[in-house]
Amino acid sequence: MSLDPITLLAIFGMALATYATRLGGLYLMRGVAMTGRIKTALDALPPAILMAVIAPTILATGIAETIAAAITASAALLRLPLVAVILTGVVSVVLLRMVLN
Amino acid sequence: MTVMSRDFRQGFIDTLPVIIAAIPIGLLWGTLAAGKGLSPLEAGLMSATVFAGAAQFVAIELWREPVPWLLLTVTVFIVNVRHILMGASLSRHMGQIASRWHPVMMFMMADENWAFSERRALTSPLTLAYYAGLTLPMMVVWTTSSTIGALVGRSLGDPAAFGFDFAFSALFIGILAGFWKGPRTGAVLGASAITAALAKLYVPGAWYIVIGGMAGVAVAAILYMEEETP
């Protein structure tokens, strides 16, 4: 068990940054009307961010990752439980890497 | 049984499937963290204080020696900017709860308990006990499983050998499916994916996340305008 000072600083910074975003909603957005185009745009933010996080992995890593992502998406759209979707992705990427590499 | 313990129990029962799903994800995250050199104590501390799965996976992805603490802090902020919107929405349902608890509730807010709270607020007022039932067991399980993952992770070796490195992408694909509302969602996701992949190649750091996210939001706003014109 060890605690590195720079690691601790990173964890503290990340915790503070995260808490700022959580508190921010409580105070900053008070009084902003959530209607019409603003609401539509804000509704799109969570999926757009989630997609942006994984896009480099699934589009720009290799053909095995891209195909595995497509298979995983099919499992997800079939409404399989989250754990089954993850297993589908992991198993397909392992198999595809074996076949394609 | 008092109303308080009944509400707590209901929150716990509602979130139980998510808690069970979080165990392997926490173990996986801890394994990846150990692979980057974090001790079990450091991994557990991060899970308890940051308590944001997506941000923690991104942070571990960027983790290297020397630890880029400022990049990590800024990146985690960007990944978690959605909390501002979630919190703004949730605050509309917190009227029944004493305001001294609001900052505490916000500290514990994550995607899952936020979604359950919003759903609960559709039918009955949100109580502190219900919110605690949603959140406290999840925090304990997330912190414990990620610490255990970091403890055993060192003996598991390279996560890529088992395809574990892809589990995070698979998890997000699974969550994304819940946001699907038709072709318009496809346009948002396509814009976000292509822009983010290009930004990752040409822009240093983790800005690709916010650049891709903004592209998706812009497409959503543009499509709304088109809908308005007859």
Residues 6+ apart with CB under 8 A from A45: B81, B82, B85, B213, B216, B217
B18 pLDDT higher than 90? no
B158 pLDDT higher than 70? no
Q: Which residue of A has its CA nearest to B191?
A: A48
Q: Which residues 10-29 of A have a C-beta within 8 angstroms of B?
A: 10-26, 28-29
Q: Tell me the average pLDDT across B98-126.
A: 89
Place of tokens 């079939």: A78
Q: Which residue of B has its CA nearest to A83?
A: B21
Please give the Cα distance from B24 to B142 (Å, whole number): 10
Chain A, chain B: beta-carbon pairs less than 8 Å apart: 295
Query: Among B52, B77, B221, whose Cβ lies nearest the Cβ of A41?
Result: B221
Instruction: Report the predicted TM-score, pTM, of the whole model to 2 decimal places.
Output: 0.70
Residues 6+ apart with CB under 8 A from B165: B32, B159
What does the DSSP 8-state code read for residue A61?
S
Burial A61-82 (b: 16+ CB within 10 A, else e): beebbebbbebbbebbeeebeb
**Structure confidence by residue, pLDDT tens digits, A59-79:** 999 999 999 999 999 999 998
Q: Tell me the average pLDDT across B209-214.
A: 86
pLDDT score for B122: 80
Is A85 in Cβ contact with B171 (below 8 Å)?
yes
Residues of A in contact with B212 (CB under 8 A): 48-49, 51-52, 55
**Structure confidence by residue, pLDDT tens digits, B28-51:** 899 989 989 999 999 999 999 999
pLDDT tens string for chain A (101 positions)? 578 899 999 999 999 999 999 999 888 766 666 678 877 887 787 788 789 888 999 999 999 999 999 999 999 999 888 778 888 999 999 999 999 87
Whole-number percent of chain B with pLDDT over 70 = 93
B22 pLDDT higher than 50? yes
ipTM strictly over 0.90? Answer: no
Query: Among A19, A77, A86, whose Cβ lies nearest the Cβ of B170?
Result: A86
